[in-house]
Structure 1
Amino acid sequence: MDIPKSISPDRIVDAFVEVRYDSHLPFEIVVGTIFQNLDESYIYTNAPSKNLPVGGLNLSLGGTPLFYNDKIKIMLLDNSILFNILSSYIGWKEYIYQIKKVLSQIAGVNSPIKNYRRASVRYISEYPEMNIHDSFKFNFSFGLPHVKSDVYTFRSEFQEEDLKIFLNFQNNVKIKSTGDKKISTVDIDVLNENVSGNSIEYILEAISTAHDKQKEVFFSIMKEEYLKTLKPIY
């Protein structure tokens, strides 16, 4: 299928990229080395307490070392670097450029990274006051055919070649922070575990492979008639 370069609106509310690595140094020394290697455009702080599911795992971010500039934030976990957008989505071309910039600086003098071993890409799209099955190729049913459920959460995990894909739907879930407005979400997390290399080009290719699969899955499950309303650019 032809995959659009962009749609409007894109409905992306969050986009994560995680890189796992091996290091010969203790985590505290890794943080200090990264602090020294990043340029002055990055500001250092600590992340507030929060649990975040990435790459199929629930990560605790309480007190996590965090760097940010005017485009992205970078959270440091033990053997993991987690990239995240600040607010609105900046587009993949800019996002991967920012990631490359950070990884290139980290790989400078006294790099703490010995080897990259995993990459994952997770995008969350949000649809207020919309039923998932109206715009995506998904129907929910179970052993009570007379019951029609419009509020549900669905999770699926499947493998395509070397990529593990986590697909999550939420339909008409009430969010208290929005005044009990009903929100539907499409959440796709692609994990590339077939990673073993230490060059910047290698890990960027692994990230791009996961990103391309995430995008392919997203547009594969979207209904053609809904896609046409989003002004796709190819």
Structure 2
Amino acid sequence: MLETFVEVHFETHLPAEVAFGSFYQALTQRYTYVPGQAQTLAVPNAHESLQLRTQRESMFLGEETVLRIRDGHISFNSVDGQYLGWERYSQVIQWVLTQLYGTGQIKHFTQVGVRYINGLPWRPFNEQLRVQLLSLPGQPEPERTHIQTSLRAPDGLLVNLTVTDQQPVFNQRERQTLFDVDVVWQTHTPTTGLATLIKQLEHVHLREKEVFFGLLNEDFLATLDPEYE
């Protein structure tokens, strides 16, 4: 596991600056606050043209996770890329969300996303994947292949998938194949219940795992001796 991202989007009753004060008080018992820098973002307006918006992102450092909070959005990462395993990771996430929800500042939740980036020892794609890729007649094997797709599952989840082979990875001598699986739950009817949000978080994580393992050839997967939650 190279990187993990979990994101939760919400709306607050009061302006973001006021809500953040309550979030700060709720989190500092376990996290150290690191003031964020203002970021200028290009976002579309109602007429689909771009406008600039300045947004401040604040960071909270914990022993196991890093939190980043900005207006209507919190993201979770493992510290130094050390994956905790889903059982522990989800417990930490639920604790944080419970603290934020307990402030009374969250009006409702609108989106949950789970994105895992896995790096596996490089092998030709047709030895790794269940689906066999076509080769170009009369041409040598490709030096590098990049596959990217997005789909909407029947249950409404958005699945974004990127697979890249022969990818250099920091602190790794050998190139790897990267599997970047991003699964998102979005709703037009925001939920006000924390229990509903946690249920969706578990559902999204399960789908991410199903997509990742569903890509891999069983023989190749067996060589990895996987332990993946």
Interval containing the TM-score (normalised by the shorter chain): 0.7 to 0.9
Report the counterpart of residue 92 of structure 1 in structure 2: 86
- Residues 113 and 174 (structure 1 numbering): CA distance in 2 closer, same or farther, change over 3 Å? same
Residues 38 and 56 of structure 2 are in contact (CA less than 8 Å); yes or no, is this contact kept in structure 1? Answer: yes
Report the counterpart of residue 168 of structure 1 in structure 2: 162
- Residues 67 and 131 (structure 1 numbering): CA distance in 2 closer, same or farther, change over 3 Å? farther
Return the match for 2:10 from 7, 21, 27: 21
Query: Across the two proteins, how many residue pairs are aligned to each other?
Result: 211
Report the counterpart of residue 209 of structure 2 in structure 1: 215
Report the counterpart of residue 220 of structure 2 in structure 1: 226
Q: How does 1:1-234 map to 2 (within 5 A)?
A: 12-46=1-35, 64-86=57-79, 87-109=81-103, 111-141=104-134, 144-147=136-139, 148-161=141-154, 162-175=156-169, 177-178=170-171, 181-194=174-187, 196-232=190-226
- Once the two structures are TM-superposed, the CA of residue 48 in structure 1 deviates from its matched residue by 7.5
Residue 196 of structure 2 aligns with an amino acid whose one-letter code is Y
Rounded to whole Å, the distance in 1 between the matches of 2:116 and 2:19 is: 28
Q: Which has the larger radius of gyration?
A: 2
Which SS does the other structure have where 2:90 is aligned?
helix
Rounded to whole Å, the distance in 1 between the matches of 2:72 and 2:58 is: 13
Where does the alignment leave 5 or more consecutive residues of structure 1 unmatched?
A: 1-11, 51-61
RMSD between superposed Cα atoms in Å: 2.8
Rounded to whole Å, the distance in 1 between the matches of 2:36 and 2:3 is: 16
Rounded to whole Å, the distance in 2 between the matches of 1:63 and 1:140 is: 44
- Once the two structures are TM-superposed, the CA of residue 184 in structure 1 deviates from its matched residue by 1.8
- Residues 155 and 38 (structure 1 numbering): CA distance in 2 closer, same or farther, change over 3 Å? same
Residues 125 and 133 of structure 2 are in contact (CA less than 8 Å); yes or no, is this contact kept in structure 1? Answer: no
Which SS does the other structure have where 1:215 is aligned?
helix
Residues 162 and 179 of structure 2 are in contact (CA less than 8 Å); yes or no, is this contact kept in structure 1? Answer: yes
Rounded to whole Å, the distance in 2 between the matches of 1:89 and 1:23 is: 30
Residues 121 and 191 of structure 1 are in contact (CA less than 8 Å); yes or no, is this contact kept in structure 2? Answer: yes
Rounded to whole Å, the distance in 2 between the matches of 1:18 and 1:72 is: 13
Residue 99 of structure 1 aligns with an amino acid whose one-letter code is I
Rounded to whole Å, the distance in 2 between the matches of 1:153 and 1:98 is: 34
- Once the two structures are TM-superposed, the CA of residue 136 in structure 1 deviates from its matched residue by 2.3
- Once the two structures are TM-superposed, the CA of residue 199 in structure 1 deviates from its matched residue by 1.9
- Once the two structures are TM-superposed, the CA of residue 49 in structure 1 deviates from its matched residue by 9.4
Rounded to whole Å, the distance in 1 between the matches of 2:153 and 2:11 is: 25
Rounded to whole Å, the distance in 1 between the matches of 2:183 and 2:201 is: 10
RCO (CA 8 Å, sep 6+): is it higher in 1 or 2? 1
- Once the two structures are TM-superposed, the CA of residue 179 in structure 1 deviates from its matched residue by 7.9
Where does the alignment leave 5 or more consecutive residues of structure 2 unmatched?
A: 40-54
Q: Identity over aligned residues, as a percent?
A: 25
Rounded to whole Å, the distance in 2 between the matches of 1:66 and 1:128 is: 33
Question: TM-score, normalised to structure 2's length?
Answer: 0.81
